[in-house]
Chain A
């Protein structure tokens, strides 16, 4: 796994999918062709397109390959009858890491197409009607005006019927549930105005509001479409991340035949083979073989666990160095993973339903304007007795206080914020998460994989420099985290030839270099003598039994972890660690990062319970975690974040996923969310103030279609312009927050 140190490469080096797995994930295009979709997250330019497509087309059996640069996915068509072409090796040779992409989720997005078409139709109608309206406003004679109103009506009716469905459907479902949302006042406004304008057109009255109705629909649809685009982009980015849980496993039947089966198809009692570097697919018992498992995704422990015949292993553990033969104990539905899913659902159900700001505003706002409109109608009716005049005034009140700006006020800010977060490598799944993030007062971190990379790092070594290469050469041949740490000390080691290499699970590795037998591992084994007591976190190197020195290890803290914690504390956020790892390591990490509250040896249920306890104390909590064991907690927290290296379940449960390796993503997201919250509040205040200012005009009956059009567009422009200020704030935020922690990291 050399060369995965590209900036931002945060994805754990997992085993490449086997040929059978690729076949399982592909779909048949025709009798002879199969199509496989691969995610290539590193593709970013025209040269990448060329390199990737060329590398794939050069493979035997590949008929076509086309890279989509927007989704960073390449679709490869290959001949069914041949073997599966080695896509991953070819791409790796070209310099790209790829992962299999499956169309398992609701992948084609019909909603987005519908929104775009609705926006296009509304835009077309709005422009044409506005054109006709301008000539009416500039003083067309009665006959021409009537004709223009008729044409406008002909354009507006189908356009509203087609494009307005988005709002009507949502308003209807809200009303059915006896709630109001943003779409209720919008729908009422649109329908009433349209009805009155139609009536006036047939009676040949001077004013019709078709332009207001259609441009209102158009503006609102723009806001909706942008909002949807933001979520789609985040989803594409998240789905493209490496798959961590295995899709299937090699099973051995009673007569010794091997078969690659999908995880779901494996029943308890079957024998599975798990090669080094693969993850355990199902909860099972070890039948044969012994070795070390990396359990950090499951339990949060950073140090590998030694297993032998008869031990139980959970789905999601990574097999480091053993060839294991397992007996499946539970089916996929009852595995550890599914247990986490159930806990997640329970946690989500218990979480108080958050209502978005726009909907909360609407629930206050719509009764007020509807009452006002009604009062205007009754007032004018009583004063003049002319019902048509009274209705016109009531409708103009609805139009002028139209939630158009309100409908844009929130999504515009959130779209801008999401874009900024994306530039910082953070994918935001929905705007509501941003509102919730701005409210937090406590941040709870998982340790392994979140505050630390779960990777070990050599803290100190007494090994003389000239034999480092030998140690690195041995270590390069092992997947053990300690060995990987030693490999990084001397990159030249990889090229050194090693003979008779052997890995002794739980003890260490040995091999001959230049005729001498080197051993690297437990001091008691490598040097045949007991030395220090704390030998769990130490490795010794010996040549022909003569000790050469020792290495000691620590957890690698995630880049900027210290700075991120300090930035959060600086913002008055309480920080604590909730980890599944042992008390000593957790305390050490907490001390290193300057965190006072920490809890160790927490089971997934304990983590949820802790969040529940905090919630009862009136805290709003941000949870940051990556493991399978964090998934229920991520779902239970007020808002949650996960690193891109997290297990799929965690990524799906979290509201935000950050791809940069650095933990500074957390304070950056928080700063952006808080700034967005300020802008949203400003926008809402501005809209309300604006409405209050023009309301007397409407109540007095002075609002003609021309005034309505001007008022509506100017308030929308104001709100959008204010949302754009989110970009301007960028410079004041980043340099201090990003640079300072890096300096601290260097000096520590």
Chain B
């Protein structure tokens, strides 16, 4: 029984993390253009990370 006290909250917490991640990505607009995202991976030019951040 005692191990359940830890395991169940951990399981639910992991579920909540996934839910929050989904809701965040929804709000962030990551589902706005699914077709475009699939194509952009081929189109976008490779640039060094440093320059991108600058």
Q: Which parts of A111-125 form the interface with B (CB within 8 Å)?
A: 113, 116-117, 120-121, 124
Residues of B within 8 A of A120 (CB): 19, 22-23, 26
B33 at interface, CB cutoff 8 A = yes
A50 at the interface (CB under 8 A from B): yes
The reply to whether the CB of A68 lies closer than 8 angstroms to some CB of chain B is yes
- Determine the distance from Cα of A533 to Cα of B26 in the docked complex, in whole angstroms: 68
Residue A663 is within 8 A (CB to CB) of chain B in the complex: no
Could you tell me if A70 and B15 are in contact, using CB atoms closer than 8 angstroms? no
Cα distance, A45 to B35, chains bound together (Å): 8
Check if A46 sits within 8 Å of B15, measured CB to CB. no
Main secondary structure on A side of the interface with B: helix
How close is B14's CB to chain A, nearest CB, in angstroms? 10
Q: Which of A46-100 contact B (CB under 8 A)?
A: 46-47, 49-50, 67-71
* Chain A neighbourhood of B33, CB < 8 A: 68-71
Supplied contacts A69-B35, A147-B4, A151-B12, 9 more A-B pairs, CB within 8 Å:
A46-B42, A50-B43, A69-B36, A69-B39, A120-B19, A120-B23, A124-B19, A147-B8, A148-B8
Identify the interface centre among B1, B16, B32, B36: most chain A CB within 10 Å of its CB.
B36
User: Are A128 and B39 within 8 A (Cβ)?
Assistant: no
B19 and A144: CB pair below 8 A?
A: no
Q: How large is the interface on B (under 10, 10 to 19, 20 to 34, 35 or more residues)?
A: 20 to 34
B residues within 8 A CB of A67?
36
- Nearest-neighbor residue (CB-CB) of A47 within chain B: B43
Give the residue name and chain of the B residue nearest to A135 (CB).
B4
Chain B 27-40 interface 0/1 with A at a Cβ cutoff of 8 Å (1 = within): 00000111110011
Q: Which chain B residue lies CB-closest to A143?
A: B1
A131 and B11 within 8 A (CB): yes
A residues sitting closer than 8 Å to B (CB atoms) are 45-47, 49-50, 67-71, 113, 116-117, 120-121, 124, 127-128, 131-132, 143-144, 147-148, 151, 155
- Which residues on A sit within 8 Å (CB–CB) of B42? 46
State how many angstroms separate the Cβ of A411 from the closest Cβ of chain B. Answer: 21
Contact present for B16 and A49 (CB under 8 Å): no
Q: In the complex, how many angstroms separate the beta carbon of B29 from the nearest chain A beta carbon?
A: 10
Q: Give A435 to B47 CA distance when docked, in angstroms.
A: 53
| Min distance, Cβ A458 to any Cβ of chain B, angstroms | 41
- Indicate which residue in A47, A68, A128, A147 contacts B36 across the interface (CB closer than 8 Å): A68
Q: Which of B15, B36, B39 contacts A127 (CB 8 A)?
A: B15
Q: How far is the CB of B43 from chain A (nearest CB, A)?
A: 5
B-side contacts of A143, CB under 8 Å: 1
Measured CB to CB, the closest approach of chain A to B30, in angstroms, equals: 12
Closest to A51 in B: B43
Query: A144 vs B4: C-alpha distance in the bound complex, in angstroms?
Result: 9
